[in-house]
Amino acid sequence: MTYDRLVCANCAAPVNEGRCPVCRASRERLQENGLFGQVTPAAIVALLVALVALAVLLHQAA
């Protein structure tokens, strides 16, 4: 989940603005997920399908 659409329950402002300590803490927690923290499940499935298709093509060519 990305924090750009979340609304803080403490101050009712967007979390990505970091207006209060709760927003800033949530923003830091979400940012520390790293590279795969922002990847959607649909993107992961699409990547797996592409890898399987590539493996099949390479196997048929050999």
> What gap in Å lies between CA 18 and CA 15, rounded to an integer?
5
Please list the pLDDT of the chain residue by residue as tens digits (62 residues): 555 778 888 898 888 888 899 888 888 887 776 666 667 889 889 999 999 999 999 999 87
pLDDT of 36 reads 64
Report residue 38 as tokens.
């922002």
Report residue 9 as tokens.
């329950």
Strand, helix or coil at 4?
Answer: helix
Q: Dihedral (C-alpha) 23, 26, 27, 30: value to the nearest 10 degrees?
A: -160
What residues does each domain of the chain span?
1-31, 38-62
Read off the pTM.
0.46
